[in-house]
Amino acid sequence: MQAFYTLATEDYRQLAVARDWASDLRTYAVDGRVRVLDVACGSGKFPTALLAAGLPAEPTIEVDLLDPSAFSIAEARAVLAPPFVAAGEHEVFLQDFDAPGVYDVAWATHALYAVPPAQLADGVSKMVAALRPGGFGAVAQAGTRSHYLAFYEAYRATFAPDVTPYTDAEGVADALRGAGARTDVQEIHYRTGSADRGVVEGFLQRCAFDDTVPLERMEAEGPMAVYLQGCRRADGSYEFVHEAHLITWVHA
Ligand SMILES: C[S@@+](CC[C@H](N)C(=O)[O-])C[C@H]1O[C@@H](n2cnc3c(N)ncnc32)[C@H](O)[C@@H]1O
């Protein structure tokens, strides 16, 4: 996991500086507080990145953490520092969450990859419905050309043809529009990389949720070898190309 976040921390840093979140939180606050739903909160890397980028002391950001993993909720809660305040906890899948009209802001940051395509519309509609009228929604997700998606397609084709594909940003945006959200999309382009083969191996294994395939096999077999060849610099180190889509909307 540490190897993964050696590179993936950049995903959240890029997101935190991609727009004026402090202004958003101020805009959607009511009476000095803003109620936020953090969908698929993971280990709280996004609030961590917002804190590192700098947030004013007000408004108070009351965060409800949603994740099917109790471990993730505990990890995310542990990183919350003022102006964040831990509020509710929801140990559920997004598809099973039902809290219409409750939140000023709902975000899901690099969070929806594992929602199966067949359940995406249902899950996304729960997120849209959780916003109060005039509330603000944001989803950050890699597009199909981006490393996480391109890598996982190569992984599926080479090692695991039966696994469910990752959900991509284009699919999320379609699902959001299907749920009635009038979306704007901002593309964020950046690169991450490392010359440390241990870090690269750990990062890629986590991208696939499979630590049984060593880097040497990835570099040698099928479509995965072709994909990774395209990620090699002349000196043999790796560089991964990212295209994150930041999808936002204001709830009608
Ligand atoms: C990469 S993490 C998200 C990282 C997080 N946004 C952050 O700031 O650290 C993905 C999370 O999605 C959760 N998850 C998987 N399927 C889900 C679903 N159907 N509904 C909600 N969360 C889900 C996982 O338990 C995991 O914690």
Q: How far is the CA of 67 from the centre of ligand 1 (A)?
A: 6
C-alpha 200 to ligand 1 mean position (Å): 22
- Kindly state the average pLDDT of the residues 231-236: 96
The pLDDT, as a whole number, for residue 3 is 78
Burial of residue 99 (CB within 10 Å: 0-12, 13-18, 19+) is: middle
Instruction: Please tell me if the CB atom of residue 126 comes closer than 6 angstroms to any atom of ligand 1.
Output: no
Q: Which residue type, as a one-letter code, is found at position 170?
A: E
Per-residue pLDDT band at 41 (split at 50, 70, 90): very high
User: Could you tell me what percent of the chain has a pLDDT over 70?
Assistant: 100
Q: How confident is the model at residue 7 (pLDDT cuts 50, 70, 90)?
A: confident
| Best residue among 10, 37, 67 to mutate for probing ligand 1, ranked by most atoms within 8 Å of CB | 67
Local structure of 65: helix, strand or coil? strand
With a 6 A CB cut-off, is 114 part of the ligand 1 pocket?
A: yes
Does ligand 1 lie within 6 Å of residue 67's CB atom?
yes
pLDDT for 76: 98
- Give the tens place of pLDDT for each residue, 165-222: 999 999 999 999 999 999 999 999 999 999 999 999 999 999 999 999 999 999 999 9
Q: Is the CB of 94 under 6 A from ligand 1?
A: yes
Task: Tell me the three state secondary structure of residue 92.
Answer: coil
| pLDDT at 59 > cutoff 90 | yes
Q: How far apart are CA 240 and CA 230, in angstroms?
A: 9
Pick the residue whose CA is nearest to atom 12 on ligand 1: 40
Residue located via tokens 């969070």: 111
* Span of 2-6, 57-61, 68-72 with lowest mean pLDDT: 2-6
User: What mean pLDDT value characterizes the chain?
Assistant: 97
Query: What pLDDT digit, counting tens, does each position of 65-95 carry?
Result: 999 999 999 999 999 999 999 999 999 999 9
Please indicate whether residue 42, judged by its CB atom, sits closer than 6 Å to ligand 1: yes
Class of 2-143+163-190+241-250 per CATH? alpha beta
**What are the b/e assignments for 22-47, b being 16+ CB within 10 Å?**
eebbeebbeeebbbbbbbbbbbbbbb
Residue 251 CA to residue 85 CA, distance in Å, equals: 24
Q: Which pLDDT score, from 0 to 100, does residue 6 have?
A: 83
Q: What percent of the chain has pLDDT over 90?
A: 95
d(CA 1, CA 213): 15
Q: Is the CB of 5 under 6 A from ligand 1?
A: no
